[in-house]
Structure 1
Amino acid sequence: MYRFFVQPQVDQRQKSIFGYELLLRKESHGHWAVPEKFTELPLDKQAHLLEELATQLATKATNQVLALNLNREQAEDDLMIGTIIYLKKRLNPAALTIELTESATLAEIQKYSMLFHQYGIKLSIDDVGTGSNTYDNIKNALPFVDQIKFAMQNLRMSGKANQIPTALAFWNTIAQEHHLDLILEGVEDEQDQQMAQQLGIDLHQGYYYGKPQLAVKHARSLACRASEDR
């Protein structure tokens, strides 16, 4: 069985959740784990799961963003573009962002940008500065996307945590020059939050705001908070 777990994306300045990253998980022997390959579940079936999730989170009513990851193999699927556009129509008026986890060619980015933007779908480049999404690989694609994401956890896991402040400042400058939203991932504590605030980065994601969990559990926790605030 497959389900999407959700992790909130927070506008720290507004003190509000503006969206959710969707993280595919597979249940095996009573435990949820990351699938060995994200293509185990065809994209059209992932789209169906996403529709169910949108209902649970009531994103259609709140216009919150659902952010779906797309890897290289999925992006090369001939049916991908049609599936994503059909999904957006079904999700209206909820917003949809496609996060590219691996660098695509400039021609591919241009094609995605032209087609997706016609339907109000935003494009994001994930994990900038690590893996294949280095500046040299993506610099020419930046005019065609809406957002970049900087993942502090990637540098921490590779033993390069000391490089985070300099790298984050660099990507913050790039985002400003290209008029892109920058989401800071891996915010784990107040120190991370303060570093972001000093740079004027308001869009955050990380364990400090919530770990990935099943959408139904997240919806229940929000309902409990709302009742406590009354």
Structure 2
Amino acid sequence: MYRFFVQPQVDQRQQVVFGYELLLRKEQHGHWAVPAKFTELSLDKQVHLLEELAGQLATKATNQVLALNLNREQAEDELMLGTIIYLKKRLNPAALTIELTESATLAEIQKYSMLFHQYGIQLSIDDVGTGSNTFDNIKDALPFVDQIKFAMQNLRMSGKADQIPTALAFWQTIARDYHLDLILEGVEDEHDQRMAQQLGIELHQGYYYGKPRLAVKPAATEVQPTSNER
């Protein structure tokens, strides 16, 4: 069995939940786990799960954003574009953002941007500054996207937590120069929150606001910080 877990995305200045990142999970031996491959559940089947989820979250009533990850293999599926556009029509008027988790070619980004924007779908580059999504690799694509995401947890897990303030300041400058939204992932406590606020970063995501969870009822829109225990 597969289900989408959700994690809130918060506008800290307005103190509201403006959207949710969608995280696919698979039930194994009574526990929910990250699938070995996200492509083991086809995109069209994921769409059916997402339609149910949108109703549970009441996103159509609140016009909140659903953010769906798309990896390299999924992006290369010839049916991907049509499936995503179909999903957006089914979700209206709720918003949809596609987060590219791996570096795509400039030509692919340009194609996605042109088609998605015709249907009001936003395009995001995930995990900037780590993996293949370095500035040199994505700089030519930045004019074609709407958002970038910086994941502090990636640097923490690689033992580079001391580099977070400098790297985050750099990407905040990039977001401002390219007129992009910047979502800061990995906000775990008040210290992280204050650092973001000092840099003028208002869009947050992380355990401080809520761990990924099953959506079983309409979610609250007010920000309610939680324990940072993992």
TM-score by length of 1: 0.95
Q: What letter corresponds to residue 117 of structure 1 in structure 2? A: H
Give the match's secondary structure for 1:216: coil
Q: What letter corresponds to residue 78 of structure 1 in structure 2? A: E
Distance in 2 between the 1:215 and 1:106 partners? 35
Match of 1:135 in 2: 135
Distance in 2 between the 1:215 and 1:147 partners? 25
Distance in 2 between the 1:70 and 1:114 partners? 17
Match of 1:2 in 2: 2
Q: What letter corresponds to residue 176 of structure 1 in structure 2? A: R
Match of 2:37 in 1: 37
Q: What letter corresponds to residue 28 of structure 2 in structure 1? A: S
Distance in 2 between the 1:109 and 1:44 partners? 22
- After TM superposition, give the deviation of residue 41 of structure 1 in Å: 0.1
- After TM superposition, give the deviation of residue 59 of structure 1 in Å: 0.1
- After TM superposition, give the deviation of residue 58 of structure 1 in Å: 0.4
Correspondence 1:17 to 2:24: no
- After TM superposition, give the deviation of residue 94 of structure 1 in Å: 0.2
Match of 1:153 in 2: 153
Match of 1:74 in 2: 74
Give the match's secondary structure for 1:170: helix
- After TM superposition, give the deviation of residue 93 of structure 1 in Å: 0.1
User: Which segments of 5 or more consecutive residues in structure 1 lack a partner in the other structure?
Assistant: none
| Residues 143-182 of structure 1: pairs in structure 2 closer than 5 A | 143-182=143-182
- After TM superposition, give the deviation of residue 101 of structure 1 in Å: 0.1
Aligned length: 223
CA RMSD, Structure 1 to Structure 2 (Å): 1.4
Match of 1:105 in 2: 105
- After TM superposition, give the deviation of residue 108 of structure 1 in Å: 0.0
- After TM superposition, give the deviation of residue 53 of structure 1 in Å: 0.2
Residues 71-90 of structure 1: CA deviation (Å, up to 9, x unaligned)? 00000000000000000000
Q: What letter corresponds to residue 56 of structure 2 in structure 1? A: Q
- After TM superposition, give the deviation of residue 202 of structure 1 in Å: 0.2
Match of 1:89 in 2: 89
Distance in 2 between the 1:28 and 1:209 partners? 27
Distance in 1 between the 2:140 and 2:204 partners? 25
Distance in 2 between the 1:215 and 1:47 partners? 16
Give the match's secondary structure for 1:102: coil
- After TM superposition, give the deviation of residue 19 of structure 1 in Å: 0.1
Structure 1 segments, 4+ long, off by >4 Å, are none
Match of 1:47 in 2: 47
- After TM superposition, give the deviation of residue 27 of structure 1 in Å: 0.2
Match of 2:61 in 1: 61
Distance in 2 between the 1:168 and 1:15 partners? 22
Task: Give the share of equivalent positions with the same residue, in percent.
Answer: 87
Q: What letter corresponds to residue 78 of structure 2 in structure 1? A: D
Give the match's secondary structure for 1:35: coil
Residues 146-191 of structure 1: CA deviation (Å, up to 9, x unaligned)? 0000000000000000000000000000000000000000000000
User: Which segments of 5 or more consecutive residues in structure 2 lack a partner in the other structure?
Assistant: 225-230
Give the match's secondary structure for 2:216: helix
Distance in 1 between the 2:104 and 2:14 partners? 33
Distance in 1 between the 2:43 and 2:139 partners? 28
TM-score by length of 2: 0.95
Residues 111-169 of structure 1: CA deviation (Å, up to 9, x unaligned)? 00000000000000000000111111100000000000000000000000000000000
Q: Which structure has the highest helix share of the two?
A: 1
